[in-house]
Amino acid sequence: MTPTLWVWRHPRAHGAQERCIGRTDLPVDRRRAKRLAHRLRDAARRHGLAREVWTSPLARSCAVGRWLRRWGWRHRIDDRLAELHFGDWDGRPWSAIGAAEVDTWVRAFAHHAPGGGESLERLTARALHFVADHADAPALLVVGHAGWMQALRWHAEQGRPPHAHEWPAPPRHGELWRLAVLRAAPE
């Protein structure tokens, strides 16, 4: 069985503007987190989905899960749901990251680890292993991060590593993507 992932992008984080944000743990407005939690709860009711949500440990994702837990849901945290790790770039203004460093990443977009952190290829493998570990579930509700969502969608639709110019636009904050990942996790 292949689970359908119902993945909502986390609410907009405070302090993310013009910065490279991956694992930098930024807070979100409580009201925005609560609004997104209401949307998840409503979708689960409408579609008969389990009252269980998966989030990364990062505050911008986890805050939604905490609201749902208050309302009787199971909130599960999994490190594999975290955003791409940008290493030394993480949390820095994009303007402070040298053009040569960004160009190096663009040339080997899927395989290069920006800032010495994590490559897109590793992020994709991490996401696929999460999905593979839940292959028996008919559906999973996740509060995710843009890069994680894009990597999983790209893999599901294209099945090959992307070039930088092909990378899709990120989902809007709070946007829902339904993903069915048919291809197995890489070894």
pLDDT tens digits for 87-120?
999 999 999 999 999 999 999 999 999 999 999 9
The reported pLDDT for the residue numbered 159 is 87
Can you give the pLDDT at residue 185?
Answer: 47
Mean pLDDT check: name the lowest of 131-135, 165-169, 180-184: 180-184
**Tens-digit pLDDT profile for residues 39-84:** 999 999 999 999 999 999 999 999 999 999 999 999 999 999 999 9
pLDDT of residue 1: 61
Identity of residue 125: A
Question: By CB neighbour count within 10 A (0-12 exposed, 13-18 middle, 19+ buried), where does 76 fall?
Answer: middle
Q: 187 pLDDT exceeds 50?
A: no
Complete edge-to-edge strand list for the sheet that includes strand 52-55? 74-77, 52-55, 139-144, 4-9, 176-180
Distance CA 42, CA 47 (A): 9
Q: Give bridge partners of residue 139 from the DSSP assignment.
A: 4
Domains for the chain: give ranges and CATH numbers.
Answer: 4-180 (3.40.50.1240)
